[in-house]
Amino acid sequence: MTAIDPVTLAVLKGRLEQIADEMDATLCRSAFNPIIAEAKDACHGLYHATTGATLVQGTSGLPIFVGAMSFAVQAVIEKVEREGGLQPGDTFLFNDPYCGGTHLNDFRLVRPVFRNGELFAWLASVGHWLDIGGNVAGGYNPKATESFQEGMRVPPVRLMTAGVMNQDIVDILAANSRVPGSNWGDLNGQLNALDLGETRFGALLDQYGEATVSSALDAFSDRAEALMRAAIASLPDGSYAFEDVLDNDGIVDEMLTVALDVTIEGEEMTLDFSRSSPPARGPINISYATAVAACYVALKHIFTDVPANAGCLRPIRFVIPDTTLLAARAPKPMAGYTETILRLIGVMLGALAKADPERATAAPFGTINALSIAGNRADDSRFVMFSFFGGGLGGNPESDGLNHANNPISTATIPPLEILEAAYPVMFTLWALRPDSAGAGTHRGGVGAVYEIEMLTDCDVALLGERGKRAPFGVAGGMEAALNRFLWQEGDETRSPPMVSKVTDVKVTTGKRLRLETPGGGGWRDPKKRPADLVSRDVRLGYVSRAAAERVYAVVLTDDLTVDADATSLLRKGATA
């Protein structure tokens, strides 16, 4: 191993991250579908030549993809070991959720990097394609009982051999989508990102040499491991349990449990999910790789200073049996994986809050509300609008939760309404914060949102969401947030899903609207200890109603919404008596 001075290490770290960042930017600026171009539902990274372990990720890529991609690269490595024949310019494509994928919409491209005729590393790209067939446009089929009902499943295949495109595979992909042009644009954006990454990484190796770069990558992983061990050691030894539930699986209207037992012993941690519910009939299962990736994301939220590479997972032991919905096998449906990993991240936050209450963070809103709207434009061309929506994040020891944020599974952004309206025949008639949706606390949760969408043509609508039965939890005395709600107009009636948060086969005709009310985040500590002037400000801003200020926070306001100090003091004394 080549010794490297700290300055060179820092320079190489920045250069490598910049390569991944440029790959992210290349795809997001050239993708055809707004979920990549605007929401940045994509990721790029550099992976170990023989193990597939994550070496470098970009700063804007989705963390959940980064954690899962090492398993994807491992799947390609295993294919090459079986079949041989790896060459420079080979590019593998697949979306199989059972061997390093997440769900069928997320397509992975993996390419080797050769130096002097030897494999040096792997580059990988992943992006969410808009439609890949299946019973429901957009892929999020709430009624799926097998992956075959969610879309086309592609195992690792050579899309390119020695740089030459296999057109047969491209033709198969196009024939199995409602919007092949969108997928074609996204595919080429990913290929261009890999081309750029290969060029940039080659230039870096030319400048510093393979030995220096290889030693730097080893040093980054070792440092991540050391920092994670120190972070774990800062927690008290012991076992800590936490569990939360999912509304249902879309098929059987019964709640399912995601349960975690954390054991901390010195510098090591065991995460045991054995008490979780068995594999579900409906599409809320996840694979082992996805479960590990979600744990990785949660740990990064808790231990923010630990670098993001595979080294940080070395002190962690995972117990995720395939008898649970967290390590399901084919052909169990997985379209709604996002809902389950959000619950997994939540129970991670809840369990470690018991180990160290001073770091406790309340639950985020905990659903992406995967909404699909499909139909035909005035010129009879087909469209598929898929989008996800925001809500509030949990209160924490430092601050209130963020209002109308994206979930903590990613750094993606909520697609702007202007982009969605320009791309699809819909009109947003309301896009606003939702009063009284945040969990109350000394530091309250962030506020959720309300969206109303009017159809400008007849549309088929499906929703795969969560948090319709069990609200996001508060911690350390904080209160839970509001529940998720989905409504639509049908004739003269306003209807809601029989399964609360999941529905398909909804027909919304021209001029009719649908409405989505998202939860806020849970609260942190006793709401009656929140400074009264902050409660007054929240009421003036519309985050909290005047009635809730008095009922929940024990703050009495005057007619001009300033604090009635005497009445508040009496009310709070009575509340704590």
Distance from C-alpha of 112 to C-alpha of 119, rounded to nearest angstrom: 7
Low-confidence ranges of the chain (pLDDT < 70): 1-2, 66, 410-411, 575-577
Distance in angstroms (rounded) separating the CA atoms of residues 510 and 455: 5
Closest Cα partner for 123 from 81, 95, 90? 90
At residue 337, the 3 state secondary structure works out as helix
Residues 528 and 576 sit within 8 Å (Cβ to Cβ): yes
Report residue 49 CA to chain centroid gap.
27
**Which of 555, 558, 551, 559 lies closest to 569, judged by CA?**
555
Residue 316 Cα distances to 134, 269, 271, 312, angstroms: 37, 5, 7, 8
Considering only CA atoms, which of 339, 550, 562 is closest in space to residue 436? 550
Distance CA 49, CA 73 (A): 9
- C-alpha atoms less than 13 angstroms from C-alpha of 164 in its C-beta half-sphere: 4
Q: What pLDDT does 410 receive?
A: 66
**Residue 188 gets which letter from DSSP?**
H
What pLDDT shows up at residue 307? 82
Spatial distance between the Cα atoms of 245 and 137, rounded to a whole number of angstroms: 27
Cα–Cα distance measured from residue 416 to residue 124, given in angstroms and rounded to the nearest whole number: 28
Alpha-carbon gap, residue 527 to 541, rounded angstroms? 18
For the sheet with 502-508, list strands across it: 382-387, 370-376, 459-464, 502-508
- Identify the burial level of 184 via C-beta atoms within 10 angstroms of its C-beta, where 0-12 means exposed, 13-18 middle and 19 or more buried: middle
- What's residue 48's pLDDT? 94
pLDDT at residue number 484: 98
Looking at the chain, the number of H-run helices and the number of E-run strands are: 12, 20
pLDDT at 516: 98
Residues near 433 by beta carbon (within 8 Å), at least 6 away in sequence: 403, 404, 447, 448, 449, 450, 542, 543
> What pLDDT, in 10s, does the model give residues 509-554?
999 999 999 999 999 999 999 999 999 999 999 999 999 999 999 9
Exposed/middle/buried for residue 83 (C-beta within 10 Å: 0-12, 13-18, 19+): exposed
List the 493-495 sheet strands across, edge first.
426-433, 449-455, 513-517, 485-490, 493-495
Q: Cis peptide leading into 331, omega within 30 of 0?
A: yes
How does 324-333 read in b/e, with b if 16+ C-beta sit within 10 Å?
bbbbbeeebb
Specify whether the CB–CB gap between 467 and 364 falls below 8 A.
no
- Please report how many Cα atoms fall inside a 13 Å half-sphere around the Cα of residue 530, on the Cβ side: 34
DSSP 280: P
Q: Helix, strand, coil % (nearest 5) of the chain?
A: 35, 25, 45
How far apart (Å, rounded) are the C-alpha atoms in residues 213 and 216? 5
Domain boundaries, the chain: 6-224, 361-524, 532-576
pLDDT of residue 402: 96
Distances (CA, A) of 542 to 341, 433, 468, 562: 31, 8, 23, 14
Question: Residue with structure tokens 């040096």?
Answer: 120
The pTM for the full model equals 0.94
CA 284 – CA 255 distance, rounded (Å)? 12
Predicted confidence at residue 353, as pLDDT, reads 87
DSSP strands (E only) in 29-74: 42-48, 54-57
Q: Enter the tokens of residue 452.
A: 């109303």
Per DSSP (E only), the strands in 311-437 are 316-319, 370-376, 382-387, 426-433
- For residue 395, give the DSSP letter: P
User: What is the spatial distance between Cα 231 and Cα 248, in angstroms, rounded to a whole number?
Assistant: 35
**Cα gap 47→364, rounded to integer Å:** 31
H-state helical runs in 209-336: 210-233, 288-302
pLDDT score, position 69: 87
CA atoms within a 13 Å half-sphere pointing along the CA-CB vector of 417 = 13
Please give the order of strands across the beta sheet that includes 256-265: 238-246, 256-265, 268-272, 316-319
